[in-house]
Structure 1
């Protein structure tokens, strides 16, 4: 090089400028969504550093509420937990779509999340990781279980498990030919649906071995054979399938219940540059595959399944053909007051003889 000293000075100046503009990204997320190898690649490429706090929906809202939307620069609540929290607490700020590489996102998921996270005409969420709950079945022992209400059939009496949580109410409603999400805006209609589901789940109690609480609990019950059919998450079914080919996740005929964990910007976050850089970085197909291999769930990245572990990809494809994907019932935002109605219904079911 003709002027090595000048070139060295230019390079040093560029690096200094990059470091001067680099921020620490304070990320509030779920376990598995920010693997160490992904963080290392991001930090090397951008100069930003990343601090990860793992959490869940309830804790995210509580943490951001306590600080009026401060303390973090990027959060990952589920799409149905954004607009209500924003309306009540004002803990997020709108997404600036001009800073988002939209072509990295699966269009249908991008538009669905935009619809479900719009408040006062502004979009507050982008899709990241998604998954479903449905049925996990020992197909050799309980081949007839293909929908939620099949858990109440005589063929599986005493060998059934599900949680006493809102997904069970919603899944059974769809299996009974009802449409709970369509009734979200009508409290009286929604209560009518809950009453019908309460009757069905109360009658189903003799079939239930136990109501499970944690993922390890239900996996152990299925492994041991104490339970042959359950309502549970897709990843749990695929993990069991790795050890026992007869057990797997089954997308119910009425439709699996779909969730999407998002990217959302806390209202008082101070590192927006780092936040948008992280969003665009992790949605690259090769990075998205790394996250799927760690978290076990797929992402909303276009071609994000290309580098996914072959066995995990095969299990996913066996559970979800295109019709099953199209039939997923995505959770919409929960209107105020509905969870209280659901809680009262679940309490009555639990107390019933």
Structure 2
């Protein structure tokens, strides 16, 4: 009798253990370092009972991991929005987003629209915006009070006090400074080539105005601290860092639009826990949670209203540099057609070689 009772008890315990293992949920997250802060992971796990297992990576490794498994092994990934459509067309490693499961009302409309457009494959969008950043102008307003667009980089009034990188963002910025839209010409190689020829001529003619072509961000910031450079093209965070040291220096969103990147949420093709993936997306874009992320990373999110909940210094930076009109005017990088990269490379080489 005792053996029978004991055996029944053991069977009951095994059943309980088995049920526990089946009901336990895990979200396998493939993301960038800093994008899954412990404080938010713990809050999510407490709210949902879902365990978050984060693997930190970058765009190249993300693509490689998902290619190797044909979209398996992870429930959610966070590629940059311009690294999705071309990869999806070739390798089919993501699945279309079911926007009915996304609380789109808490997402900044212009960012949602940009990501939907730039991740279209076979008529379906494959991502949701998460966080963003920009490059534009860092200006010493004491010496360059009128500098408010990329055209200031070619203004003789600032001769010898200008700095920018010889990289593709400068080509794009120059095109916008000339009153054109390079992204609108991505589908026309001849039109894009003609535009880049104009950009090349502008940059070559402007070489005497340039203090240096910066390659190291810290060196650029130091040259602005020492008043060697008055106007530079660089990232928003660098301008805000200098502003905290010297109120005369600040990041300025150019009139023709800051150039913006967006990192997204995308669901791998063979994700197992899709329900948990959508829960994490909605959780991270909830304004109070997005504000925590921004306070930690000093990086804006697509969560509408989150900035108002951030720390005062962080909020001041965004509100000063990015009123809503400037956010809506950001020129988000679309995927780059393969043929255009070689065109841009040749233009940059010619500018470097010119006397």
TM-score by length of 2: 0.88
For 1:5, the equivalent position in structure 2 comes to: none
Could you give the per-residue CA deviations for residues 149-179 of structure 1, whole angstroms, max 9, x where no partner exists?
2112233223322122211111110111111
Q: Distance in 1 between matches of 2:312 and 2:204?
A: 42
For 2:11, the equivalent position in structure 1 comes to: none
| Change in CA separation of 1:18 and 1:114 when aligned onto 2, cut-off 3 Å | farther
Which of 266, 281, 292 pairs up with 2:268? 266
Could you give the per-residue CA deviations for residues 220-255 of structure 1, whole angstroms, max 9, x where no partner exists?
332333322111111221122111111111111221
For 1:175, the equivalent position in structure 2 comes to: 177
Q: Distance in 1 between matches of 2:224 and 2:74?
A: 39
Structure 2 regions of 5+ residues with no counterpart? 1-14
- Specify the SS of the correspondent of 1:110: helix
The 5 Å alignment of 1:81-96 reads: 81-96=83-98
For 1:286, the equivalent position in structure 2 comes to: 288
For 2:312, the equivalent position in structure 1 comes to: 310
Q: Distance in 1 between matches of 2:109 and 2:352?
A: 41
Q: Distance in 1 between matches of 2:284 and 2:17?
A: 23
- Specify the SS of the correspondent of 1:137: strand
Q: Distance in 2 between matches of 1:320 and 1:104?
A: 18
The 5 Å alignment of 1:221-236 reads: 221-236=223-238
| Change in CA separation of 1:90 and 1:276 when aligned onto 2, cut-off 3 Å | same
Q: CA RMSD in A?
A: 2.4
| Change in CA separation of 1:246 and 1:352 when aligned onto 2, cut-off 3 Å | same
TM-score by length of 1: 0.88
Confirm or deny: 8 A CA contact 1:33 1:294 kept in the other structure: no
Matched, 1:202 2:216: no
Moved more, 298-307 or 190-199: 298-307
Q: Distance in 2 between matches of 1:53 and 1:212?
A: 33
Q: Which of 1 and 2 has greater Rg?
A: 2
Moved more, 223-232 or 167-176: 223-232
- The 4+ residue runs of structure 1 with deviation greater than 4 A are 13-19
Q: Displacement of 1:70 after TM fit? A: 3.6
